[in-house]
Amino acid sequence: MEEKVLNSIGEKHENNLIFRWAIGFDHAGFELAQHLTQYLLKAKHKLIQYGPTSNLISIDYVPFSIAAAKAVVDGIVDFGIVIGGSGQGEQIAANKVRGVRAALCNDIYFAKLARRDNNANVIALASRVVAKEYAETIIDVWLNTSFEGGRHERRINLIDAYEANRLSLPEARIIY
C-alpha cells in the first residue's frame, strides 16, 4: 500500500494550496503525463504515478486508470489525472471505481463545469488532442474552480445512492 504523501487536502506552501495527485496513463499518455508531473512538482504538489516507464510499447490503460482512481477514493491522494490518446477509455475505466467522478476535460470550459457542477475528483485528458501547455491551463482551471453545491450536490448524492443500491429508478413507459 502506498504511503500518504501529505496529511490533508490543501496544505499551504507559500500562499499556494498543495495537493496530492495520482496520474494514471498508458503509452499514448506517457509524454503528457511526464510533462504534467514536472509542472505539478514545480508547483510543489505531491504525485504518484501509475503507468509505463516509456512509450515504446503499447500497453493497456485500464489498470493504470483504475489504480489512479482507487488512490483517490482510498484517500492516498486528493485528485487524479488519467491520460490516454483520447482520454475516453481512461475516463470510463476510472468511473468504474465507486466514488470516483471522472470527467473528460479537453478544454477549460469542461474543466470548469466538471468541478463546479459535478465536483469531479479525477480529470481525464486526451494526449492526442490537448497540447502540453494547454493541459497546464486546463489543470489550473480545474483545480481553481470550486464546487457550487446546491442542486448539483443533490444530483451527486443521487449518484452516490445508486452506487450504494439505494436509488429507486423510474418505471419505463412502453412506446410502440
Domain range for 61: 11-163
Residue 1 forms part of a structural domain: no
User: Per residue in 34-82, pLDDT tens?
Assistant: 999 999 999 999 999 999 999 999 999 999 999 999 999 999 999 999 9
The CATH code of the domain that includes 149 is 3.40.1400.10
Residue 99 forms part of a structural domain: yes
Is the entire prediction scored with pTM above 0.85? yes
Residue 41 forms part of a structural domain: yes
Identify the CA nearest to 26 among candidates 3, 2, 49: 49
Domains contained in the chain, number: 1
pLDDT score of 17: 82
Is the pLDDT confidence value at 14 over 70? no
Residue 174 forms part of a structural domain: no
Residue 54 forms part of a structural domain: yes
Q: Which DSSP symbol is given to 146? A: P
Residue 88 forms part of a structural domain: yes
Residue 168 forms part of a structural domain: no
User: Per residue in 104-158, pLDDT tens?
Assistant: 999 999 999 999 999 999 999 999 999 999 999 999 999 999 999 999 999 999 9
Does 17 or 150 have the greater pLDDT score? Answer: 150
Residue 93 forms part of a structural domain: yes
Q: Which amino acid is at 27?
A: H
The H-or-E segment that residue 47 falls in is strand 46-50
Radius of gyration of the chain (CA): 17
DSSP letter string, 11-42? EEETTEEE-EEEEEE-TTTHHHHHHHHHHHHH
Q: How many residues does the chain have?
A: 176
Identify the CA nearest to 46 among candidates 108, 96, 2: 2
Give the torsion through C-alpha atoms of 93, 94, 96, 97, to 10 deg: 150
pLDDT score of 1: 38
